[in-house]
Amino acid sequence: MEHREMRSWKRVRQIDEDKTMNEQFIVRSLALRIARDIVPNSATAERLIAWGTENAAWLFAGAWPTNEKPDWAHFLAYLQSPLEAEDQRPQVLDLADELGRLLQLVAFDARLLTLMIACDRLPRVADLLNIVAEQIRDLPAVLGEIAGADPVEAGPRVRRSDVLKLGLMTFGIRSRHDNPVEIRWPLSRILDREPAPDRLAEALAGRRQVANLELADFAHVQDASFLVRLLEGAVREQAHGVNILIHGPAGTGKTELARSLAAAAGCALHGIGEADEDGEEPTRNDRVLALLLAQRVMGDRSGAILLFDEMEDLIGGAQRSDGDWFSKREGSKVFVNRLLETNAAPVIWVTNAIGNVDDAILRRMSFVLKLDLPPRRVAHRILKRIINDETGEPGDAIGKLIDQAPETASVLRVATRAARLAGEADCGARAATSLVRALRGGELPLEGFGALDLQLYETDRPLDALFGSIRDLGMADVSLLLTGPPGTGKTALAHHLARILDRPLLVRRASDLLSKWVGETEQNIAGAFEDARRQEGVLLFDEADSLLFDRTNSRTSWEVGQVNEMLTWLDRHPFPVIAATNYRHRLDPASLRRFVFKLDLAPLGPERLVRAFEEFFGMTAPKELEGLRNLTPGDFAVVARQLRYLPPQNALAILEYLRQESLLKPDVGVKIGF
């Protein structure tokens, strides 16, 4: 014969299973279901009746007798009496219903979600569970029955439910009756704030990202337009498994590029599993669950794009090791692979290092983009936009810093804002300098050369026409060999070419590359070319005679090897290369044909001597200047610095300083009779 409490519980469930669950229904259903396992007249039964007496006004709407204490049978009868309409349904239950709709949960899972939220967030439900905790042997089975499952299948069905699979909630440790239901981070951050219904989807999917830059600010990213079209097509056709990986050094604007790509595609971008407004930091598991939730909420319906910044969190437990790698990888490769193959909404993944991303993951990417620091022209355009946003005024100092250190582009916004808040008019130059020093781990590079007058170069070829042609034709695989005595401006000329080509200049001296260890010099040479290729910069080898010396004078095989390494790279490098040396006669003959242009810079002739004097000192050159034959632009620069401390009385006094510089040279260039 069926137990009376079982019949009572079934009757309540049959009456109310089609109604929206309110707090009274949940409390009564829990009490009736648990009563099946309670012995009448036991201590637990007495506590439950006392609890019913205490909450009778709310639970039974005045039907509870006040002059006597009901027995167990009457208590159960009151629990199955008709429900009274509540004055106001708790908002958290309405939120639970909306969550069920957004997550496309089946009816059973939606009811289970509401029940579990009620167990954690409704005080009366929590009190009831505490009173009867010792009688509850299997809370999942209890809630499963209330949600509508057959008693035999209730427990397993709950454990297979999407509520648990999506990581929304879980059940606490059996011995801890004070925490029977545990709400996980992706859901707790929503319940704690209870957003408006129209913002619930965004709260689940992650904070919407706003683009601070336009796609034009990433004109140096050649594949940007392709990525926009890829995202547009993925959203239009609701294609699954579309993933874009953006990687590169910190501060190169990877996240900003992701925002700009989504904006250009006309799609909302949501950041997955990022810290919420309360500063709660998610774990790796939290972020993965947040991604699954976002895919369920957005998926094929909204045309949204998801952003998973710091992709190494997907691997889990990653720690940086030597080089571009992470150690202590965690997580299932199979899980990650399937995740990348089936995601309904496109995902843009961002990471500083891809050394921990194995080939299986890379093969599942729709596109992998390496992003480096923006070129000079783009950095200046970004600066202009940021200054407009911060209502500041442009300044020379920050512009010079961009030219001096490319890393400046990565800190422009925060530095400019700091300047505005501090009331400084330097557009962030002070703050940016401190940040760039920190990023470099040391001092800034020496300030580059200013604007050059190419008419001051004594060569057999007009440099202005040559450099203008290199700039206008846009062919990057150009190489120049600059030779000549010290001070003729070889290094300054390399800086000038990099500036007009709007490419970073990478300077490598012999001391940077030569090593006492066999094979390491070759590795350093290869690394220099690889760095220049990655940054698409102009590579300058200073003191090139130490790297391209005549192999007939070598004494060991490894010396020949380093020259061969240089020659091999010069043959195939696709970007500008400049080699500078004071000793052309020491170069290996085979190296000469590796350079498209060979420019020999000589001391200034009579006409250029006069031009240099007038430009450096702002006065007419004395006639006696023509008697000096070995002066270079560098000598004029040295004398100009001397004049800071010894102001000249006239042009002849300056001429004397120049003559002293001339006499210090081994090839004294004083005309006979001077």
For residue 352, give the amino acid letter: N
CATH number at residue 218: 3.40.50.300
**pLDDT of 331 over the 60 cut:** no
Give start and end residues of each alpha helix (H) in 298-428: 312-315, 333-342, 359-362, 376-389, 396-404, 412-422
Query: In the predicted model, what is the mean pLDDT of the chain?
Result: 82
Q: Indicate whether 222 and 350 sit together in one domain.
A: yes
The Cα 98–Cα 96 span in angstroms is 5
Q: Indicate whether 227 and 342 sit together in one domain.
A: yes
Q: Indicate whether 589 and 632 sit together in one domain.
A: no
**pLDDT of 234 over the 90 cut:** yes
Q: Indicate whether 81 and 160 sit together in one domain.
A: yes
The Cα 7–Cα 13 span in angstroms is 10
Q: Indicate whether 620 and 588 sit together in one domain.
A: no
- Predicted confidence (pLDDT) per residue in 400-416, tens digit: 787 777 778 878 888 88
In a domain, 8, yes or no: no
Per-residue pLDDT averaged across 613-626, rounded?
90
Helix crossing, 606-617 with 651-663: angle to 10°? Answer: 120
Q: Indicate whether 588 and 487 sit together in one domain.
A: yes
80: domain range? 14-189
Q: Indicate whether 497 and 582 sit together in one domain.
A: yes
In a domain, 670, yes or no: no
In a domain, 1, yes or no: no
How many CA atoms, within 13 angstroms, populate the side-chain half-sphere of residue 255?
17
Last residue of a domain, one of 571, 600, 629: 600
Q: Which of 197-201, 230-234, 287-291, 655-659 has the lowest mean pLDDT?
A: 197-201
- Predicted confidence (pLDDT) per residue in 48-89, tens digit: 888 888 888 787 766 666 666 778 888 888 888 777 666 678
**pLDDT of 486 over the 50 cut:** yes
- Predicted confidence (pLDDT) per residue in 300-319, tens digit: 667 889 999 888 777 654 44
**pLDDT of 232 over the 90 cut:** yes
Per-residue pLDDT band at 349 (split at 50, 70, 90):
very high
| Most confident segment among 152-161, 197-206, 379-388 | 152-161
In a domain, 102, yes or no: yes
- Inter-residue contact 190 to 204 (CB < 8 Å): yes
What is the DSSP secondary-structure string of 625-666? GGGB-S--HHHHHHHHHHTTTS--SSHHHHHHHHHHHHHTSS
- Predicted confidence (pLDDT) per residue in 158-200, tens digit: 999 999 988 888 887 643 455 788 888 778 878 877 666 667 7
Local structure of residue 540 (DSSP, 8 states): E
The Cα 275–Cα 247 span in angstroms is 21
Last residue of a domain, one of 576, 600, 624: 600
What pLDDT, on the 0 to 100 scale, is given for residue 18?
41
Rounded to the nearest 5 degrees, what angle is found at the Cα of 625, between the Cα atoms of 623 and 631?
160
Q: Indicate whether 394 and 310 sit together in one domain.
A: no
- Predicted confidence (pLDDT) per residue in 624-637, tens digit: 898 888 899 989 98
Q: Indicate whether 529 and 626 sit together in one domain.
A: no
Q: Indicate whether 421 and 493 sit together in one domain.
A: no
Q: Indicate whether 611 and 594 sit together in one domain.
A: no
**pLDDT of 639 over the 50 cut:** yes
What pLDDT, on the 0 to 100 scale, is given for residue 262?
95
In a domain, 446, yes or no: no
Domains in the chain, number? 5
Is this prediction's pTM over 0.95?
Answer: no
In a domain, 287, yes or no: yes
Q: Which residue has the higher pLDDT, 435 or 356?
A: 435
Do the strands 243-247 and 347-351 form a parallel or antiparallel pair, or are they unpaired? parallel
Last residue of a domain, one of 600, 616, 642: 600
Q: Indicate whether 388 and 509 sit together in one domain.
A: no
In a domain, 260, yes or no: yes
- Inter-residue contact 235 to 338 (CB < 8 Å): no
Residues 6+ apart with CB under 8 A from 643: 617, 654, 657
Percent of the chain beyond pLDDT 70?
85
In a domain, 45, yes or no: yes
Indicate the Cα dihedral angle 513, 514, 518, 524, nearest 10°: 0
